[in-house]
Amino acid sequence: MTPLQDQLDEITANTRQLVQADRLAIGERAIAELFETGIEERILPVGAIAPDFALQDSNGKLVRSADMLALGPLVVKFFRGRWCPYCMTELEAWRDLYGQIREHNALMVAIGPQSQRQSDFMAGQHGLPFPVLTDPANALAEQFGLVYTIPDYLREYYLSIMVNIPFVNGENSWRLPIPATYVLGKDRTVLFAEAHADFRVRPEPTEALASALAACRH
């Protein structure tokens, strides 16, 4: 299986071949500015107690973290939206590992700010076997320290390439979570936490999964 980061680097390389340098510079500026805010240093860290949550899945069913954690450790994957090829590549990598997750009595959810309808379409299109939960206005992601506001110049760029965040998310704040991967123990303790201001960088799912499986053995 090709490492996830290699797959993501291929997306980046292809993008650089296809997109004009001045337009690429817009995204690079936004990433650099977001990194400079120190957002990566403020995420909910390993050892912290994660908040309880109850969010609707793509079918409108309420999914409670307490119910899932009663059964075993929980992988929580925050993503930006189905419009992001990096997020979709990452979620497909997790999809392919889902059998191993379940074999060890762990569970997984993907959480994003997009509307329930968007999540329903995404889960079906990509064959995602785990719940895809809608986090209205990024309220839960905020509690994990992941949320930022897209600057005006990047909003203009997104709209120029037909990425309409307010339409996808069903609200007008232009806020997103930085992509993040968490593993929670049954007592809500954070066992693994990784998030990057550069959305092109993601942890290998196998690394996070190792944390979940180690928790299962205790």
With contact defined as beta carbons under 8 Å apart, do 35 and 180 qualify? no
CA–CA distance, 21 with 156 (Å, rounded to integer): 17
* CA neighbor of 86 nearest in space, from 196, 206, 208: 196
Give start and end residues of each alpha helix (H) in 37-151.
65-69, 85-103, 116-126, 139-143
pLDDT given for residue 184 in this prediction: 95
CA–CA distance, 35 with 180 (Å, rounded to integer): 14
pLDDT given for residue 213 in this prediction: 75
Kindly report the number of other CB atoms within 10 A of residue 179's CB atom. 25
Kindly report the number of other CB atoms within 10 A of residue 218's CB atom. 8
pTM of the full structure: 0.95
pLDDT given for residue 1 in this prediction: 76
CA–CA distance, 71 with 94 (Å, rounded to integer): 19
pLDDT given for residue 110 in this prediction: 98
Q: Cβ neighbours of residue 21 under 8 Å, at least 6 residues apart?
A: none
What does the pLDDT look like over 96-149, one tens digit per residue? 999 999 998 899 999 999 999 999 999 999 999 999 999 999 999 999 999 999
**Topology at the third CATH level for domain 4-216:** Glutaredoxin (3.40.30)
pLDDT given for residue 42 in this prediction: 97
Residues in the chain where the model's pLDDT stays below 50: none
Kindly report the number of other CB atoms within 10 A of residue 49's CB atom. 12
pLDDT given for residue 133 in this prediction: 98
pLDDT given for residue 208 in this prediction: 87
Domain-by-domain residue ranges, the chain?
A: 4-216
pLDDT given for residue 216 in this prediction: 67
